[in-house]
Amino acid sequence: MAREHVRLSMSDLLSALVATDLRTLCAEELVARVYRTRRPDTATVRELTNLVLVENGARTRYLLPSFAVRASRAAALAAVAARALLTPGVVTAAVLGSGPDAQSQLMMIAKYVPAASHVAVCPVGGQRATIAPQVLDQIARAGIGLTLHTDVAQALLGANLVVTTSENTAPVRYADLTKGALLINTSGEDLPDDVVDRVDKVYADAPDLLADNDDRYFVRRHFETLAARGQFSPPASTLIAHPPGVVVGLGEVLSGAYRSRVGADEIRLVEVLSAGEPDLRLAAELCRTARLLGLGASHGLDVN
């Protein structure tokens, strides 16, 4: 059977991103990780070199860049964390980074953080901040103000939601963080030790990946804190407070297995560990949306 191959660009995926409920998809997955009940994929999805191929029984095969799938997943996970952990009230956001990662985060903030009034963008490391038209349109539709900065401290001024996507995390200083801020690190790199040491709580999207990331400072601190207390895992009871430095699973928060009061001035850190996982269900959902919206360009590439 002849198959049409449609290639989706980053621009196409940004349009599909805002029309797809990836937050719910990722939230369900994080809860399933807690109970080990992850659902199987319904579409045929496989990774090629720098590409993801998706087909769901139709005559069309979709090709999309792997980096865009990773950026979309990281943004959806950040949206899950923001909705679950932000304290009620007006939100001033800061996104540290550039390129597809930062633009995907901006789309998710505009869609899933209804209390957001302003977002500052700072491309760390001398990179240029270029924001796609559909991202600007989505931010404007949400009534969110937007400013671009070249100085991290200026971008963080007054921000109670901070998302860092840049691998250069060195400019993030604890002294520049607003009291009560929620800091979400999707970069895959360590924040400065001083920041990790001084935040009040640490969360992770996938605690089952902690052992695989034992080169990360916050992970070593997690296990060292437990070992010092004679424990090998966090407290099982939701009534026992996790010691500072011990990582709380975001899925536990979503499922209600973990509940804790949050002080108004507490600064909390969310470490996203699973953004690099090949999220095949997410890719399939983006392609379904792209098909409905008529996105993509026909491509003659023959993929067996």
CB count within 10 Å of CB 92 equals: 22
- One pLDDT digit (tens) per residue for the chain, 304 residues: 556 778 888 899 999 999 999 999 999 999 988 877 655 554 555 555 566 777 655 567 888 888 888 999 999 999 999 999 998 899 999 999 999 999 999 999 999 999 999 999 999 866 666 889 999 999 999 999 999 999 999 999 999 999 999 888 989 999 999 999 999 999 999 999 999 999 999 999 998 899 899 999 999 988 888 887 766 555 444 434 555 667 888 998 998 877 766 778 899 999 999 988 778 889 889 988 998 999 988 875 554 5
What's the length of the chain? 304
pLDDT, position 16: 93
pLDDT, position 277: 78
Strands 116-122 and 145-148: parallel
d(C-alpha 43, C-alpha 57), whole Å: 8
As a dihedral over the C-alpha atoms of residue 34, residue 36, residue 37, residue 43, rounded to 10 degrees, the angle is 110
d(C-alpha 215, C-alpha 210), whole Å: 10
d(C-alpha 273, C-alpha 32), whole Å: 16
Q: What is the DSSP letter of 23?
A: H
Q: What is the largest CA-CA distance in the chain?
A: 62
89 sits in the region (left: phi over 0; alpha: psi -120 to 50; else beta) called left
Which residues on adjacent β-strands are paired with residue 52?
47, 64
Across the chain, where does the E strand assignment appear? 4-7, 44-48, 51-55, 60-65, 91-96, 116-122, 145-148, 161-164, 182-185, 201-204, 247-249, 268-271, 297-299
d(C-alpha 62, C-alpha 5), whole Å: 6
pLDDT, position 2: 58
**Could you give the domains of the chain?**
4-68+278-299 (no CATH), 77-271 (3.40.50.720)
pLDDT, position 172: 94
pLDDT, position 37: 63
Tell if the pTM clears 0.75, that is, is over it.
yes
